[in-house]
Chains A and B, each alone.
Chain A
Amino acid sequence: MESSLELTTSLPGTCLPPPRSRIFKIIVIGDSGVGKTCLTYRFCAGKFPDKTEATIGVDFREKVIEIDGEKIKVQLWDTAGQERFRKSMVQHYYRNVHAVVFVYDVTNAASFRSLPAWIEECRQHSLGQEVPRILVGNKCDLRDAVQVGTDPAQKFADSHSMPLFETSAKNPDDNDHVEAIFMTVAHKLKSQKPLMLSQPLGGEGFMPMRKSEEEEEKGVLACSC
């Protein structure tokens, strides 16, 4: 143990770096409980989590996808929904974001009414208009409890010129698959910024992955999307 505090001289980068892959950084925001954690987990792990917990601060998930033969890392930043964590707390994580996913819960009208505040939040973090945004209405599987219909949602999305997706992190039989939604964003980013998004120089070490993640990722890559 004590040796672990000795000075380490071996620096990363002594092994051959893997081929450069582009990274798409996407931040997911919306009220607490709308299902941000479930959606990001669904995309990265391919399934609905059996237990989630309140997100405190910011969680990070990532998945490697392939578009036109190019491997791309999609990083999802899953943020805390409670109001007090906004503003100064997660500010840091808005930096260099390539796309924003706004989430509301179709069974919770209040979460829909909060959207303007979330858009304002983005504006305050000086995200430019060129950053793609999408709107996701989650929990469509709860058909009997829907409070926010497609019409008002579509209207709202149009007025902010973003596409609307209604989906369910839980129910996989939806037309708008969670995977498909994030892939759409990735395609958009790929066509939009062919050159800009590359891995930062000097960061070409390798990232040690824990076993579970490796397995998780294999599972993810095996799934059809």
Chain B
Amino acid sequence: MYLKKSKSIGASSPLNGIGKQDWNSRRKRKVGEISQALSVTPVDVAALRRMAISEGGLLTDEIRCRVWPKLLNVNTDDLPEKLAEGLRENHKDYHQVLLDVRRSLRRFPPGMPDDQREGLQEELIDIILHVLDRNPQLYYYQGYHDIVVTFLLVLGERLATVLVEKLSTHHLRDFMDPTMDNTKHILNYLMPIIERVNPEVHDFMQQAEVGTIFALSWLITWFGHVLSDFRHVVRLYDFFLACHPLMPIYFAAVIVLYREEEVLECECDMASVHHLLSQIPQDLPYEMLISRAGDLFVQFPPSELAREATQQHSQQTAASTFKDFELASAQQRPDSVLRRRRKEQAALAEQAQAQAMVVARPRAKRLIRLAVMGLTVALGAAALAVVNTALEWAPKLDLQFFP
């Protein structure tokens, strides 16, 4: 049922005039489905994941308050009453956090009164220090505050605190090491993904020696640092919360690929290409890009890219790859899951074959043009596969997220 429904998605975006009525009714149905998934015992987390990924994401902040905790498997019954006092001056990162939060004015809604914003900024500092204090293995990075502010604005202080803590020890874990070696390793996935889809863009970027730092802030803030419209940010957070922790790097690749023409027209040197790419256009077609990122994840799962990503930067990354491997191999799944997964993959492959134009190229092993695939491969199938593949390659991810 999900599959059928999502086939029509690409045709009418939520903003498209003709599809408006259509979208309204689908939206209403989606709200109903989310309520349904929330009301069963145990909560239907798989359905919630699909909702978070599919068109429009979780729709409202009210729904997000109820669903995000489920996606992160956080129990909201016993929230902390009050955050510990006196953390401030004593904490080693206090000054950096203060400096970053003070400068984070752009993250707050434009019309918000100053005193309200200042109150929230204080809460933001408290949450960050609270989480860092309770988890001495985590190190603050500039950009972490861009993620936390999003949770604060959507969920309020208490709920944000517990969710951010969970997120920090899982999805963001690699960014919070003492060094950025693991972050760099994750950035190394970017070029292999681009190469698989569009070798020309890949080669151009290699020739320009642009590197991947243009995507650093995208990755470690889940795009919170670079998108000015808060609605787009939370929409992406719906998506990322429901997916594998490496999904943001696939999304980064999708953005670069979407700008193919601009990139190829750019002067082929580091400065020009870095400059072009680091300025994200604010009017991206998010729903389409999200479904593309899902497609790419299915076609080129991290396991397939891991070796290349590691080769790009051999030294430190060996350790993290090993960690991935160790974890992945420790993850045992019951047969029924395996069987279901195999069936889904078979179905997906069939569709892909039917609908995709496979361009044989000497350099690219199998290049499936997303122009053809992107919207036609049912997002539902992709989403499901995303969820399941996440089990296999999870850097420091807790299995409990993917029941």
Residues of A that sit less than 8 Å from B by CB? 1-8, 10-12, 23, 25, 32-33, 51-60, 62, 75, 80, 82, 84-85, 87-90, 92-93, 95, 199-200, 202-208, 210
Contact = CB atoms under 8 A, between A and B. Distances in A.
B288 interface: yes
B contact residues, range: 35 or more
Given A54-B103, A210-B279, A87 B179 contact: yes
A1 B103 contact: no
Given A10-B265, A58-B274, A204-B267, 11 more contacts: A2-B371, A23-B271, A25-B271, A54-B104, A54-B143, A57-B217, A62-B275, A82-B96, A85-B142, A95-B209, A205-B268
B99 interface: yes
Interface string B235-267: 000000000000000000000011111101111
B139 A84 contact: yes
B94 interface: no
A57 B262 contact: no
B141 interface: yes
B225 interface: yes
Nearest to A7: B200
Interface string B98-140: 0110011110000000000000000000000000000000010
Contacts of B347: none
A33 B271 contact: no
A93 B213 CA distance: 9
The A contact surface, by secondary structure, is loop
A54 B278 CA distance: 15
Given A57-B213, A80-B142, A207 B220 contact: no
Nearest to B215: A57
B203 to A, nearest CB: 12
Contacts of B43: none
A60 B274 contact: yes
B268 A5 contact: no
A82 to B, nearest CB: 5
A-B CB proximity, top 7 nearest? A56-B217, A57-B216, A5-B371, A54-B142, A57-B213, A92-B211, A2-B371
Interface string B161-190: 000000000000000001111011000000
B221 A56 contact: yes
A32 B99 contact: yes
Contact of B260 (A8, A202, A203): A8
Interface string B256-298: 0111111011111101101110110000010010000000000
Contact of B225 (A3, A53, A58, A199): A53
A204 B265 CA distance: 11
B269 A200 contact: yes
Contact of A53 (B103, B267, B274): B103
A207 B216 contact: no
A205 B213 contact: no
A4 to B, nearest CB: 6
B370 interface: yes
